[in-house]
Structure 1
Amino acid sequence: MNERVSETSGGERHTTGTRARVPASRRAVPGPRSTHRSLPELEDALRLLAQEWRLPVELRGRLTQSVAAVAGPPLREGRSVTLATRRGARELTVELRPAALAPDEPPTLPPEPAGRGARWRLVRPCEEDGETGEGSARELIAEELREARARIAELTDDRQRLTQELAETNSGVLALYVQLEERDEQLRRAHGQTLRELEDALRPPPVAVPGLEMAIHYAPADTDAPTGGDLYDWFRLPDGTVHITVVDALGHGVTSTRSALNVTHAVRTLALEGHPLGQIVGRTDEILLPFDRELMATVQLVRIDPVTGVVRIANGSHPPALVARAGGATEYLEVRGRGIGYPLPGSERVREDALGPGDLLVLYTDGLTESRRDPRDGERRLALAAARHRGLPTEEVPGALAAEMHTVILHPDDTLALTVRRTGA
């Protein structure tokens, strides 16, 4: 802002402000204004103006297409459009009235609204960068077509190159996928082998005792987690009797396996120290609960004299043992008690019975009888199955019982079935 000071006859001073003049080289100069009634006429006029302004061929083509896109709807309605231009030192302004601000196809150079029209503002290249020469509208169209073909050829080359690179990348990804599948299979095999070794360590083989035949069947509720809370242990005591422990710890997976393993180890230690059978369940609870307040497990303890066939049983909330007699009768050996982690844990008494030659003793966890959510019905079906399969070889009986009991599984759970047959030898 410039100031001009003047003094009146009375000595008063007045200050008048004037705006700084804009250099002529920077002011926009109005260009020609033309009216058009057809799209080809408008496009030809715009091409010639763009050529005069020395716009690059690609920019000229995009501008022509964009103006045609917004001028098309009013021209098709029979109206005429007015094209006006304004030229500055480095900027060109193109105005079109009226214009369709929502054309059928989005223009490659989006305009800005200008009343009922549209406006494009373009930055001109330097004089030395601009194109020179003159030509007719047809020549300019041919030039734009050559430029478009060259651009298409360039894009085609880029597309072929990208397609080749994508094919090579896909080939590499496929090879990597195959390698990962092979590695995953190797890991699955190694994982399975580790779990089998772990199971073998946790599940001891049958004890070789003259006069007794023993067999075991175990199936996890989840095949992806082959360990669970159903464990067993059997070993021979110094007096010649065989001790069997069956444990069902609350839960599934490795945590329940650890709990069940702690119970079997504590029971084995107490049994080998000579603690009375009827006191071992309660004593195990006293030992383990201070270290694991969350531990809950049912326990069944069985002692068998292979010479006389005498069986002694202590129980802590576990399903009752089943005897399938050689003559075909079946009987459950019920013993009341409360398991590890339960209130007042321990076996209320020790039940004594006897196995005759050919009799079959079946010990199990509730996963065998509660697959249909009805324990009483499961026990009835198990007794019938034991009577039906008692004539099979001893090593086949546990699997046959599990297969018959699990024809319908509504409540999957870890399953353990252990059988002992007295041969009388």
Structure 2
Amino acid sequence: MHPDLARLRRLLRAACAEGGVPAYERARLVVAATLLAEPALDAGAKITLETSTTDGLLAVTLRLPYPVARSQRDWLPLLPDAGDGAGLTWHLPTTPARHPAPADDAEATREETLALIARADGLAQEQRELKHELAETNSGVLAMYVELEQRDEQLRRAHAVIFRELEDALRPPPPAVPSLELAVHYSPTDPDSPTGGDLYDWFVLPDGHLHITLVDAVGHGVTSTRHALTVTHAIRTLALEGHPFRDLVARTARTLATIEPDLMATVILARIDPATGDVTLASGSHPAPVHLTPGGDPRLLRSPVVGRGIGFPDPGTPELAHCVLAAGDTLLLYTDGLVESRKDFQEGQTRLLALARAHATLATADLPRELVTRMHDVVLHADDTVALAVHRIPGHGKRNP
């Protein structure tokens, strides 16, 4: 992220916290300002931000070096007031309550993401209730139905913008790790609602090891997204607190059992030492990863005893799986949507191994997307899909004999 863009977001969040602006309205403001400011900052232009509070309203003005067309402003998740085009102003109601500004961008993004999800749940409930009222109405049905369709279209257009920002927030960019190349591709079941239950998280621990979490929450839509986000956040917190790797799945399940009793999710964890290429895997009811070597046959990394996921009976990982990524090797993690598009899991894994071998020389950045595209040539069962690749760069390690 451009440093000036990060500073802009911090200033907006601080102003909203001081004015008691709800997280949902703050999220819409931050998304709107980000969509406007990012192209200007990437082009090297200067922007200015002005905030003030009067008569119970927080006024936020963003000044750009060029005017913004009305058509572009209309697509923003929070519409600014009419203005000269280059200076855009938003007015948000304030409340007597004061909220501390989020500690960092990641915390703010999580808070705003959950607020957006809750708002989307509320909008969906409002829509269901309106449709129910229409079904019980004996007069004026046609006029109200037209109005509903218009509202649906407005909601779809507004959600499209929010969902694009939401998708970026939920799916973090790869961290920089010496000797490793990381890449990921996400394919939603419904392109118009890219918020399914397949989420991932990757970060570098204080000891330099790379940690990867891949979650597939049961269900679809914003509820499964909330469940998957809850799991990834819990695992990250426990991992950074230093809990043993083999206990993370079981401890996460126990932690969330009373908070989210209906949550069910498969999960796979990977812990990688960039210096040696040593990989340790903990799987909870999740498809086995693929170990791909240059010129060799790809193999599935199955644990001796398969563990169970979050919300399943006796969750945890009784046996860990291990491998070594030598220079040029690739580790492929994925959710079951990759291998179940033809409704045959075993056949899907066989096809995946064949395709992985055929594309072993493909650039890491292109490999996940290419595998998803070819595996989904025939889709009899649509499901969210994540494919994630970790490649050990040649020259940074030697293959064990």
Mark yes or no: TM-score above 0.5.
yes
Q: Which of 217, 221, 242 in structure 2 is aligned with 1:249? A: 217
Q: Over residues 271-316 of structure 1, what are the superposed CA-to-partner deviations in whole Å (9 max), with x where a residue is unaligned?
A: 0011111100000000001011111000100011111000000010
1:212-237 Cα shifts (integer Å, max 9, x gaps): 00111111112222110000000000
Aligned to 2:359: 389
Matched-pair contact (CA < 8 Å) for 1:215–1:395: yes
Q: How far apart are 1:324 and its partner, in Å?
A: 0.9
Q: What per-residue deviation string (whole Å, max 9, x for no partner) do you get for residues 349-382 of structure 1? A: 1222100111111000000001111111100000
- Give 1:199 deviation, angstroms: 0.8
**1:215–1:398 contact (8 Å) kept in structure 2:** yes
Question: How do 1:7-406 and structure 2 match up within 5 A?
Answer: 188-335=156-303, 336-406=306-376
Determine helix, strand or coil for the equivalent of 1:323: strand
Q: C-alpha distance in 2, partners of 1:355/1:228?
A: 31
Give the distance between the partners of 1:185 and 1:372, measured in 2 at CA: 33
Contact 1:230-1:248 at 8 Å conserved across structures? yes
The structure whose RCO (Cα within 8 Å, separation 6+) is larger is 2
Structure 2 length-normalised TM: 0.59
Three-state SS of the structure 2 residue aligned to 1:281 is helix
Match of 1:170 in 2: none
What does residue 106 of structure 2 align with? none
Deviation at 1:185, TM superposition (A): 7.6
CA distance in 1 between partners of 2:180 and 2:377 (Å): 30
Q: TM-score scaled to structure 1, two decimals?
A: 0.56
Residue of structure 2 in register with 1:80 after alignment: none
For structure 1, list consecutive stretches of 5 or more residues without a partner in the other structure: 1-176
Q: Structure 2 counterpart of 1:376, which letter?
A: Q
SS at match of 1:347: coil
Superposed displacement of residue 327, structure 1: 2.2
Flag the 1:187–1:378 CA change in 2: closer, same or farther, 3 A.
Answer: same
Equivalent residue in structure 1 for 2:381, among 375, 398, 411: 411
Q: Deviations over 1:129-161 (max 9, x none)?
A: xxxxxxxxxxxxxxxxxxxxxxxxxxxxxxxxx
C-alpha distance in 1, partners of 2:370/2:191?
19
Counterpart residue number, 2:20? none
Query: Which shifted more, 187-196 or 236-245?
Result: 187-196
Kept in 1: contact 2:160–2:193 (CA 8 A): no
Could you say which structure has the larger radius of gyration? Answer: 1
Q: CA deviation at 1:188?
A: 4.7
Q: After superposition, give the CA deviation of every residue in 1:212-263 in whole Å (9 maximum; x if it has no partner).
A: 0011111111222211000000000011000000000000000000000000
Q: Secondary structure at the match of 2:207?
A: coil
Instruction: State the aligned residue count.
Output: 246
| Secondary structure in 2 matching 1:274 | coil
Separation of aligned partners in 1, 2:228 and 2:186: 14
**Aligned mates of 1:304, 1:417 — CA distance in 2:** 17
Equivalent residue letter for 2:380: L
Q: Deviations over 1:29-54 (max 9, x none)?
A: xxxxxxxxxxxxxxxxxxxxxxxxxx
Kept after mapping to 2: 8 A contact 1:326/1:357: no
Alignment identity in percent? 58
Q: Distance in 1 between matches of 2:254 and 2:294?
A: 40
Q: Deviations over 1:306-348 (max 9, x none)?
A: 1100000001000001011112321111021000000000001
> Which runs of 5 or more structure 2 residues have no equivalent in the other structure?
1-145, 397-401
Give yes or no for contact 2:267–2:286 (8 Å, CA) kept in 1: yes
Instruction: After superposition, give the CA deviation of every residue in 1:194-218 in whole Å (9 maximum; x if it has no partner).
Output: 1111111110001111100011111
Alpha-carbon distance in structure 2 between the residues aligned to 1:210 and 1:274: 22
Determine if contact 1:337/1:347 at 8 Å carries over to the other structure.
Answer: yes
Q: CA deviation at 1:193?
A: 2.0
Q: Which amino acid counterpart does residue 384 of structure 2 have in structure 1?
A: D
After TM superposition, give the deviation of residue 187 of structure 1 in Å: 6.1
| Per-residue Cα deviation, 1:116-135 (whole angstroms, up to 9, x for no partner) | xxxxxxxxxxxxxxxxxxxx
Aligned mates of 1:184, 1:318 — CA distance in 2 = 37
- What residue is the counterpart of 2:393 in the other structure? 423
